[in-house]
Amino acid sequence: MSAFREWFETMTLGQTKKYMELLAWSLFDSFVVSIPYAVMIMAMYVLLIPVLSPETKLPLNRMGILTGILLAQFIGYLFIRRKSYLDFCTGFAGTTRTSRIQMGEHLRSLSMGFFASRDAGDLSTVLLRDYTEIENFAQQLLPQVATILIRFLLAVVVLSAFDVRMTAAVFLVIPLALPFAFLSLKRMEKESRRLQTSQQEVAAGILEYVGGIQTLKAFHMAGERFETLKASVAGWQHASIRLETGAAAPVSMVGRCLLNCGIGVVMLTGGFLLTKGELSPFYYMAFMLLSLTIYDPVLMLFTFIADFSRTARSGGRIRSLFEEKPLPEAKEGAAPEKYDIVFKDVSFAYGREEVLHRINLTFPERSVTALVGPSGSGKSTITRLIARFWDVTEGEIRMGGIPIRNIPSQTLLGNISVVFQDVYLFHDTIEENIRMGREDATHEEIVAAAKKAACHDFIMALHRGYQTMVGEGGSTLSGGEKQRISIARALLKDAPVVLLDEATSSLDPENEVLIQQAISALVEEKTVIVIAHRLQSISNADKIVVLEEGAVSACGTHEELLREPGIYSQLWQEQQNAGSWQIKA
């Protein structure tokens, strides 16, 4: 029972009570819809009596009553149907909308580790297709099944009043056929899992193909990769066919055959009772006709089995996504008043492999600390831990003396401006993309930030200026332009902590001077942590931390580090030599 309750809760997106209210109306609606069905049985009875006993007159008054019932049903039905249909559609649409929003908020609270382990295709499948499946199930499938059950009960009551033995003959095959329906539902589970996996593969494949089309074209692989995509689409088609015709189909077929045998059982039982004179020809005919209207809905249940199985998996996937544990949030919000950042014995692993080992570091307030070191040494990871995109595996990070775990994520991120090497711009206007830095910023403030970040001129040269739409991910702008917009965002935010990860990596020399000035304005009086591969750009930093294989190997000013032999002086020397590097003809 608890498994059923859990299943029902999943399929109604946790809104069981509200759904039951909607379903109650829908059942009432089904009851009203079924009245003509009962009237039809009564009419047959009323009309056949004079046929069987010629001395009786046609009972016109009874026919009049039945017609009156039908008319009343028709008028009542118009109102009830309208209400139940509208209530169901708007009511359940509201439930799915709320659940989708809750899912969006939930996803926001998950660590970046979660997103690294799930691809975008997979998540978009849940948000789009799985919710649609649930919507169809709750709005159409479940009410239809409920209607079938109501008709069933009505038929049992009305037919039993005529003849209990014949009623038993009609229903005899149903308990025999239903186990086959459940068995085929069980068998379908594997096929439906396979179908959903292949649907995810196709969604992920399309996203990857479109996202990587430039690289694929450059490497002449667009055709080859398309073949892979074609293969996964074929896999999808194959899985869909298997769902309908696979191992579950023969089982379901046996159930259907049994149901079809039911009419034979009714015929034989009726014939037997008729010859013994225990059943009138009227009842015989009535049972023959009515048994068809009973088996048809049950046969329909068999066709719903595939839908049931598929939708149950969709519900399960929504549920399991909700069950993903978010990063623990501080209950009582602590807001730092100072902005120095301290790493105490911090170790971190993305998965199993540790990439930072017992880091002890202080990033003093209102000073610039640079992180340098070979590629993969853990520089970006340190900045991402400060913004709490991941939680540390061991140790603690403090901001202004408060462990960042105890600072609500809104407050923490409100205190940090981030300029990463891979800038993402949204499919929106340039103005709105800059406004992400501070939602209540005025147009004048946005323009001022853009001027400081040296992007005002190129924005004004665009055909609609600040109102120009940016392609998804910033695809219509150059790398340097995107980088400058992200600096404008950070300038607008004016947060006390600034994380710069290769912020000047995409800039041409012409812009570099301007951008250096903008960055100088951005970092003034802030706690700044900067990553730069070109040591020249950070030689003025107050402190330089050298990382090697996830551990701090040296720390000091540029001059101090140059004085001692080590990776810093080696890197510095290499970069000085590389200054004269050129492609040899």
Ligand X SMILES: Nc1ncnc2c1ncn2[C@@H]1O[C@H](COP(=O)(O)OP(=O)(O)OP(=O)(O)O)[C@@H](O)[C@H]1O
Q: How many residues does the chain have?
A: 585
Question: Does the protein bind ligand X through residue 291 (CB under 6 A)?
Answer: no
Q: Which residue spans within 332-464 are E strands per DSSP?
A: 341-349, 354-363, 368-372, 394-399, 402-403, 416-419
Nearer to ligand X among residue 242 and residue 379 (C-beta): 379
Q: Is 275 in the site for ligand X (CB under 6 A)?
A: no
Minimum gap (Å) between residue 527 Cβ and ligand X: 19
534-537 long-range CB contacts below 8 Å, 24 or more apart?
A: 534/504, 534/575, 535/372, 535/568, 535/571, 535/572, 535/575, 536/575, 537/504
Span 105-124, contacts to ligand X by CB under 6 A: 116
Report the DSSP pairing between strands 543-548 and 551-556: antiparallel
Q: What is the rounded distance in angstroms from the CA atom of residue 510 to the CA atom of residue 560?
A: 31
Q: Which of residues 203-242 bind ligand X (CB under 6 A)?
A: none
Query: Judged by CB under 6 A, which of 380, 411, 468, 539 binds ligand X?
Result: 380
Q: Shortest CA distance to 295 belongs to which of 254, 260, 257?
A: 260
Is 381 a binder of ligand X (CB under 6 A)? yes
504 is a site residue for ligand X (CB under 6 A): no
Pick the closer one to ligand X by CB: 85 or 350. Answer: 350
Size of the site for ligand X (CB under 6 A): 11
Decide: is 355 part of the binding site for ligand X (CB under 6 A).
yes
Quote the tokens at residue 133.
């499946």
Which residues is 416 bridged to in the sheet?
A: 497
Verify binding: residue 377, ligand X, rule CB under 6 A. yes
- The interaxial angle of helices 281-322 and 164-211, nearest 10 deg, is 30
Stretch that binds ligand X, among 151-159, 241-249, 378-386, 470-478 (CB under 6 A): 378-386
Q: Which residues, at least 6 apart from 441, have a Cβ–Cβ distance to it below 8 Å?
A: 434, 435, 449, 492
Q: Which of 162, 350, 389, 572 binds ligand X (CB under 6 A)?
A: 350
Only one residue has tokens 């519900």, namely: 315
Q: Give 354 or 431: the residue with its C-beta nearer to ligand X.
A: 354
Least gap, CB of 501 to ligand X (angstroms): 7
Q: How far is the CB of 377 from ligand X (least distance, A)?
A: 4
- By CB under 6 A, is residue 378 in contact with ligand X? yes
SS3 402: strand
Nearer to ligand X, 149 or 555 (CB): 555
Nearer to ligand X, 326 or 374 (CB): 374
CA atoms within 13 A on the CB side of 380: 12
Edge-first strand listing for the sheet containing 341-349: 354-363, 341-349, 394-399, 402-403
In the complex with ligand X, the residue whose CB is nearer, 172 or 355, is: 355
Task: Pick the closer one to ligand X by CB: 317 or 379.
Answer: 379
The CB-of-351 to ligand X minimum distance in angstroms stands at: 6
- Judged by beta carbon, residue 112 or residue 174, the one nearer ligand X is 112
Is 417 a residue that touches ligand X (CB under 6 A)?
A: no
Task: Pick the closest to residue 543 from 534, 554, 551 (CA basis).
Answer: 554
Among 50, 179, 328, 376, binds ligand X (CB under 6 A): 376
Residues lying near ligand X in the complex (CB under 6 A): 116, 350, 355, 373, 375-381
